[in-house]
Amino acid sequence: MIGQELRCRECSRLFPLEALAVCDFCFGPLEVVYDYEAISALDLTARIENGPRSIWRYRDLLPVQDDDPVDLGAGFTPLVKAVRLGRELGLDDLWIKNDTLNPTGSFKDRVVSVALTAARHLGFKVAACASTGNLANSVAAHAAHIGMDSVVFIPKDLETPKILGTAIYGGNVVAIDGNYDDVNRLCTELAAEMPDWAFVNVNIRTYYAEGSKTLAFEIAEQLGWKAPDHVVVPIASGSQLTKVHKGFGELHKVGLIGEKHVKISGAQAAGCSPVATAFQDGTDFIRPVKPDTIAKSLAIGNPADGWYALEVVKNTGGSIEAVSDDEILEGIELLASTEGIFAETAGGVTIATLRKLAARGAFEPGEQVVALVTGHGLKTLDCLSGRVSVSTVIDPSLESFRKSIQAGEIVFSNPPDTR
Amino acid sequence: MPVSIRIPTQLRSLTANESEITVSANTVGEALRELDQSHPGIGERIFDETGKVRRFVNVFLSDEDVRFLGGLETPVTDGQVISIVPAVAGG
């Protein structure tokens, strides 16, 4: 491991590189300390470019090195130039990081691949997590891949595809009669009772969270080793946003990109917007909320890294918006119909926020903007029933089809004579 | 009145490894201060210099975050359980 020790983000106390997530003294989060000087001395560009087409090409900047990591192929997802969506929103250099194309359909594969690789090194026997769904999918899949037992904890009202898409991997799925914050509290207490269980986002969260840095690494590499001007990131716990910011900073520290001020903006659902509310109120106190939104994967009312996410957004000159359930659904439809990318509700939150920010002039003309779309639409299909359907139902005859055209049931956005 | 406080692993070195301590108090805040009296050192771990609960400490009364109740002023009734839980988890 190039990571040397763990340091408390709050009180700076140092700890050995073990299965610790929380400072023993003040309960602050622990961060891996890297030797950036040693990392800079490596031929990083070649090591990365010759590496696997997954997050493990960046292993020198991850907290655990392993020649045979727990890897289903997470990461190195497409960065898509979004010309049509950009035109719609008035942004001339817009990109979508399409993280729907991960092995289990969300960015969680990045963090789980790192977490379970670390868990194996640290000697854990069971993979576990508190999840709003995507993490459960990913933990169950990666555990199955290495034959590790898994026990995932979810709120019982999750979307059916997320429940079935977890259970199919054969591990244990424990549904809790409560919301995510209840599940999380239970898992925090359980982690203390189950010393050989790796709750990826609880007792090995320090390692797990580092996986999200790979989003920044990939974006920079895919843009030709440079950082974009502005990134829009959904906020649940706030960890991803914080780590994306850290990722760009590290690339500069080790000499892979020049110094660049990257603005980071956050996206929340109005039905669960503790960080957006603190941003709008200008306070640094994140008041917990009881979530009520269709964006269940973002429904964390008491976000662990909310404070840090708020700090990053403020320090970089970004912004945070909250969007309604209707706006989320419109966001999903807009992204799909302009770019051919089908996002789950969290992606709808990002796109709706992007739209809101663009409408109020939050982006400078010519700014290169990257929006993170972090989960696949097939995971939250239910929310679309009644909104989209077949265009028409006809008999299998030419006559029926002609009638349908005449009746205007088949709709073209480009008139036929211009095609 | 008697209430029990569930102690997180991080603080058990101060409670001789006990995971639950019973104190006598009328509010959540009183209970936590009482805990500090009987187990010196706990106070500085859960309260910051200004006497507020640290940013990364969550306090629950009967499984409800006290910030949804009356904070440290929340009254406690006989036999209720207070939990001190690290906030850095999840997501």
Which residue ranges of chain A lie beneath pLDDT 70?
1-3, 415-419
Strands (E), A286-390: 320-323, 369-373
**Residue B69's domain is classified under what CATH number?**
3.10.20.30
Is B74 domain-assigned?
yes
Picking from A11, A27, A308 by the largest number of B CB atoms within 10 A of its own CB, the best residue to mutate is A27
Say which CATH class A79-105+211-384 falls into: alpha beta
The domain spans of chain A are: 79-105+211-384, 389-419
Nearest CA-CA distance, residue B87 and chain A, Å: 6
- Which domain, by its residues, includes B32? 2-86
pLDDT for A419 equals: 55
Chain B residues 50-69 within an 8 A CB cutoff of chain A? 54-58, 60, 63, 65, 67-68
CB–CB contacts below 8 A, A to B: 89
CB spacing of A288 vs B45 below 8 angstroms: no
Picking from A18, A185, A208, A241 by the largest number of B CB atoms within 10 A of its own CB, the best residue to mutate is A185
* 8 A C-beta contact, residue A208 and residue A119: no
CB of A299 less than 8 A from some CB of B: no
Residues of B in contact with A29 (CB under 8 A): 56, 88
**Chain B residue with the nearest C-alpha to that of A297:** B91
CB of B49 less than 8 A from some CB of A: no
**Reported pTM:** 0.95
Is B37 domain-assigned?
yes
Residues of A in contact with B68 (CB under 8 A): 288, 290
pLDDT for A396 equals: 97
- The total number of structural domains in chain B stands at 1
CB spacing of B88 vs A22 below 8 angstroms: yes
In degrees, rounded to 5, the angle at the alpha carbon of residue B19 between the alpha carbons of residues B16 and B21 is: 85
Residues of A in contact with B10 (CB under 8 A): 22-24, 27
CB of B86 less than 8 A from some CB of A: yes
Residues of A in contact with B15 (CB under 8 A): none
Q: pLDDT per residue over A331-357, tens digit each? A: 999 999 999 999 999 999 999 999 999
CB spacing of B91 vs A181 below 8 angstroms: no
Residues of B in contact with A303 (CB under 8 A): 90-91
Is B91 domain-assigned?
no
Cα–Cα distance for residue pair A234/A38, rounded to 1 Å: 33
CB of B91 less than 8 A from some CB of A: yes
Return the SS3 of B51.
coil
